[in-house]
Every structure is written in structure tokens, then in C-alpha cells.
């Protein structure tokens, strides 16, 4: 199972802070997971239509979209962080 966390506007748009999902067949990377989530349509389709606007962490470490994932990983999606 994958533990998925959503932060900031992603959480607001989806109406949930996270969810647990089974590791789908063919899901081996963050990109694969994004494709699976986008295929749900609705707010998932909208949010994940432009993955370049979202940052990701795998097991609490910043990761790239091509990062590998495995069962029992925690994947967090959040907007880019800016400072000032």
C-alpha cells in the first residue's frame, strides 16, 4: 500500500489530507503514480494535468518525478515552496 499525502491547495481541491492506495500494476515511479491519479478524472485530473506545478517527496525526502517508488512508501504532493 502507498500512503499518499496532499498539502495546501492540493488538499483543499481534493477535500482530503491523504489516502492509502494499493500499489497499482505498472506503478514503479512517481510519474506512474501521477498518471494513475490523473486517470481518476475530476479534481485529480485537474491537479495532476500539469505535474510540473507540483513538488513531491518520497519517504520525507524531496524527489523528482522519475523517482522510483515501492510498496509501503509515503508520497507527499505539495505546491512549490517560495520564500521572501
Q: Going by C-beta distance under 8 Å and a sequence separation of 6 or more, which residues neighbour residue 45?
A: 38, 39
Euclidean distance between CA atoms 39 and 24, whole angstroms: 12
Helix locations, the chain, DSSP H: 9-14, 30-38, 42-47
- Domain at 43, CATH number: 3.10.20.30
64, part of any domain: yes
Cβ proximity of 51 and 34 under 8 Å: yes
Range of the domain at 20: 2-78
| Phi, psi values for residue 59, rounded to 5° | 55, 45
Q: What is the pLDDT along the chain (84 residues), one digit of tens a residue?
A: 999 999 999 999 999 999 999 988 899 999 999 999 999 999 999 999 998 889 999 999 999 999 999 999 999 999 987 555
Q: How much is the pTM?
A: 0.92
Amino acid at each position: 500500500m502507498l500512503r499518499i499525502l496532499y498539502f495546501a491547495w492540493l488538499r483543499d481541491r481534493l477535500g482530503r489530507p491523504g489516502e492509502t492506495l494499493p500499489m497499482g500494476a505498472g506503478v514503479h515511479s512517481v510519474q506512474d503514480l501521477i498518471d494513475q491519479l490523473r486517470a481518476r478524472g475530476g479534481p485529480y485530473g485537474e491537479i495532476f494535468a500539469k505535474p510540473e506545478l507540483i513538488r513531491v517527496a518520497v519517504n520525507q525526502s524531496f524527489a523528482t518525478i522519475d523517482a522510483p517508488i515501492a510498496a509501503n512508501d509515503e508520497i507527499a504532493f505539495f505546491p512549490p515552496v517560495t520564500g521572501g
